[in-house]
Chain A
Amino acid sequence: MAMTLDVNGKPLAVKAAPDTPLLWVLRDELRLTGTKYGCGIAQCGACTVLVDGQPVRSCATPIEGLAGLKITTIESLGGAHPLQQAWVKNDVPQCGYCQSGQIMSAAALLAAKPHPTDADIDAAMDGNICRCGAYQRIRAAIKEAAGMAPATVATPAAPAKV
């Protein structure tokens, strides 16, 4: 029954039944809780991980088809990935719950298109919901991580003292 998954470069034996979505194996069994549950039906993107470099909604991906494929989660980015640096510099997160999924979708985008257009960003990021509405900063941070011109709208200068 046990199968082996390649998670963040390590072969890991898992006990879960084959129909278990990857999300719950990552979170409950492997204790990789950076990947979040948001909807369970591949609508919100909070659970996004990479499978062989492609963004996948782990909440709706049973593990049975994943043997031999490379699974990459937020934990593998190390915290200082250019996207993560740009996220921190722009103070992108608000509640932060969706951000692992946002960053994994953005990582797949930049791997495929190192200098994405706005249309590329729309296409790659529209599957990731952020209820706090950090979208503008997500877009700015992706561009910054890609070494592109910063977003046209800067945060305001501090108001004059009164």
Chain B
Amino acid sequence: MNKILSPRETLGATRRDLVVGATLVGGALLVGCGPADLLSVGAKENFGAFGPFIKIGADGAVTVISKHIEFGQGNHAGLAAIVAEELDADWTKVKVEQAPAIAKVYANTGMGVQGTGGSSAISNSWTQLRQAGAGAKAMFVEAAANKWNAPVGEITVKDSVVSHAKSGKSATFAQLLPEAGKVTPPKTPTLKDPKTFTLIGTDRVRRKDSQAKSDGTARFTQDVQMPDMLTAMVAHPPRFGAKVASFDAAEARKVPGVVEVYQIPTGVAVVAENTWAARKGREALKVTWDESGAEKVSSDKLAANYRQWAAGKGTLPEKTPWQPFETKGDAAKKVEGTIFETSYDFPFLAHAAMEPMNCVAQVGVGKAKLTFGSQIPTVDQLNTAKIVGMLPGAVEIETLFAGGSFGRRANFQSDYVAECVEIAKKVGKMRPVKLVWTREDDMTAGYFRPLTHHALKITLDKEGYPLAWRHRIVTQTLMKGSPIPAKGLDETTVEGAKGSPYLKATPVVDAQALLPDLGVPVLWWRSVGATHTAFVMEHTIDQLARKAGKDPVAYRRALYEKAGATRHLAVLNLAAEKAGWDQPAPAGWSRGVAVHESFGTLVAQVAEVQLVDGQPKVGRVVTAVECGTPISPDQIAAQMEGGICYGLSAALFGQVTLKDGVVEQTNFDTYRVLRNSEAPTVETYIVPSGNAPSGIGEPGTPVIAPAVANALLALNGQATTSLPFVKA
């Protein structure tokens, strides 16, 4: 690798170096050098005796270094527990610290770059951190064995204390630290038999950040204060793709506290001594926009086009073919049976994390540092490096807590990060610039869950089970701008329909997707493809069950058995049992069930719903989850509770609309979200499993909308063909 990049590995790389570096990313794979290595050139690496994931202080306190950002899903607790389990550290004293950005050390083992997403924090770290913990433990054991002249096999460790029962000797991690630090770590440390776990899977695994997040001391990007720091706000165009034509900053410059006004690629930036001055300065700007390249689509028109195309009418956009994602049997051959047809419309959705997007950047000569909630540090490094002309690995990132993301902080363009870096580059001299987006900036900036349409035609046998399944999905690709373009179909647009046990149980399948290009930026939104596919599959299945005169749980069971979907069956059975499915619903309530797999995890939910003033009110939700080996049952429950609220909020109210390209929702007054009195009471039950852990941050989200729709179907026989339930 060094040979490839030779002779220069200094921080002062030129743009050309970067182009060369970026070109080499592909080529380097051929010579056995991963992109993560290349993207890490220039990074400072300085780890202690126990490697990049564990620090042990002179007081014996264990600090676990997390390569993943914590923005709510509790991964810091889970990651720390994995290390503490194998190390037999005193869990009550374990702390968590955020790793710097060094892709070759801290890459997500499933992504190849450093990043958090796809509910993978625990699953991709599972073996890596078990080995780190077990390796560190082996070092203490060997140090003690040498010191006490005892066989390694007789040394035990518990709660950060190393003991030798026969001699009665014991020592704390602190006492053994000098010797343990000198032991060569084992190459393949012996991992525990999971049956002997004493921490993982217990209620002792609780969050480490609750105190700081309850007393106001937890540090978010918004809270960063540095000497001489400037605060920036940017006037953005009203439409995607518009550019600055001209601007007049005379009035803005008169606002007390405004320091400078700059034109940057995304608009006009006002840089000020504080947030309010930046805001007032921005209000005083006069900007004329060049809208020649602007996207002027309206969402109702777009939805109409999607419906037409899915129905085989109208002219398809250029270079936009239908792409098959599941094909089985002879779709052209006529299948005898009853036909069921339906279609569904889903709107654009905003992530609307509590902390609007923001970033702190410092740019100097050959130096750049970002301090913020970075979800995919490697991509943020790459995009920063392009702007400032450095090697990506040399861009330093200090990752902070983020006030939610739900996917928003991870995009190939690093949109708000790049904007901040552009401003910091103008300011220069490593002077810190904090870019603050208002809620309005955040909500109108795009990167929405795409507007999506599904059309289905299902042929049913005499028993009411599917014989043939025709499925058409129209949506935007989420991979636009990816440095590694998808080969073939973007799977994130169809996941959940693709791979469904219902399709597996159907002899003839013709499922295709159409991904028209559009100037509206879209992005993954908590649970990604499942945000729409789970609804379509689960609500359709309930309608089919009803049509067949069968109980929705029994109907699903029959299909799962046919498909060999044993994990689906397990969560369905547990949820049905705990919800009392075989008993009538409580008076005044209607019940609906839904089951979906995402990110390797199975979730079943039974929702109790009533209509209050024509609006669904969700009471109790019984949820069963199978996510492999559970690390923290309490945080699994928390993610089910939170994921359900996030999904329910969108299902009830979530809708971004565009009128002639302008986003019509700007803040929480027009983009309604779920509030406390509207939140259901969630009960979580975990299906035991000895498999490796799978995701938990997202799988609870997509199941609630179909469960509610199915409860409404049971209540009044009405199918739900578009979301949200409550139209504005």
Contacts and interface: CB of A to CB of B under 8 A. Distances in A.
B677 interface: yes
A87 B212 CA distance: 11
Contact of B404 (A84, A95, A128, A139): A95
A97 B404 contact: yes
Contacts of A21: 276
A28 B220 contact: no
Nearest to B686: A159
Given A43-B668, A131-B404, A29 B274 contact: yes
Nearest to A44: B668
A52 interface: no
A114 to B, nearest CB: 19
Contacts of B216: 32-35, 73-75, 100
Interface string A75-97: 10111000010011001111111
B354 A79 contact: no
Given A97-B355, A152-B681, A162-B688, A131 B276 contact: no
Contact of A39 (B207, B668, B675): B668
Interface in A22-52: 24, 27-29, 31-41, 43-44, 46
Contacts of A130: 354, 645, 676
A125 B207 CA distance: 24
A149 interface: no
Interface string B187-210: 000000001000001110011011
Interface string B341-376: 000000000001111100000000000000000000
Nearest to B218: A96
Interface in B625-671: 630, 633-638, 641-646, 649, 667-669
A139 to B, nearest CB: 7
Given A133-B649, A135-B679, A139-B676, A91 B206 contact: yes
Given A88-B214, A134-B642, A17 B274 contact: no
Nearest to B224: A33
Contacts of B690: 162
A158 B276 CA distance: 49
Of B440, B634, B668, the most chain A CB neighbours within 10 A belong to: B668
A2 interface: no
A158 B203 contact: yes
Interface size band for A:
35 or more
B223 A33 contact: yes
B465 interface: no
Contacts of B557: none
Nearest to A34: B216
Contact of A93 (B195, B214, B406, B644): B214
Given A36-B222, A87-B214, A91-B210, A137 B676 contact: no
A37 B401 CA distance: 15
A93 to B, nearest CB: 4
Interface string A118-162: 000110011011111111111100000000000011011111111
A155 B203 contact: yes
Contact of B686 (A136, A153, A156): A156
A136 B676 CA distance: 8
B219 to A, nearest CB: 8
B72 interface: yes
A4 interface: no
Instruction: Name A's interface SS.
Output: loop
Contacts, number: 219
B275 interface: yes
Given A16-B276, A21-B276, A136 B214 contact: no
A72 to B, nearest CB: 12
Contact of B637 (A88, A122, A126, A156): A156
Nearest to B223: A33
A91 B638 contact: yes
A33 B400 CA distance: 15
Most B C-beta atoms less than 10 A away, residue of A17, A75, A128: A17
Given A44-B668, A97-B404, A153 B201 contact: no
A136 B683 CA distance: 10
Contacts of B202: 158
B74 interface: yes
Interface of B: 71-74, 195, 201-203, 206-207, 209-218, 220, 222-223, 225, 231, 256, 274-276, 352-356, 401-404, 406, 436, 438-440, 630, 633-638, 641-646, 649, 667-669, 673-677, 679-690
Interface of A: 16-17, 20-21, 24, 27-29, 31-41, 43-44, 46, 73-75, 77-79, 84, 87-88, 91-100, 103, 121-122, 125-126, 128-139, 152-153, 155-162
Given A24-B276, A135-B675, 13 more contacts: A16-B274, A16-B276, A21-B276, A37-B222, A40-B438, A79-B214, A87-B214, A93-B210, A128-B676, A135-B641, A136-B679, A157-B633, A159-B201
Question: Nearest 10 A-B pairs (CB), nearest first?
Answer: A34-B216, A133-B645, A97-B403, A96-B213, A94-B72, A95-B72, A135-B679, A93-B213, A122-B677, A74-B216
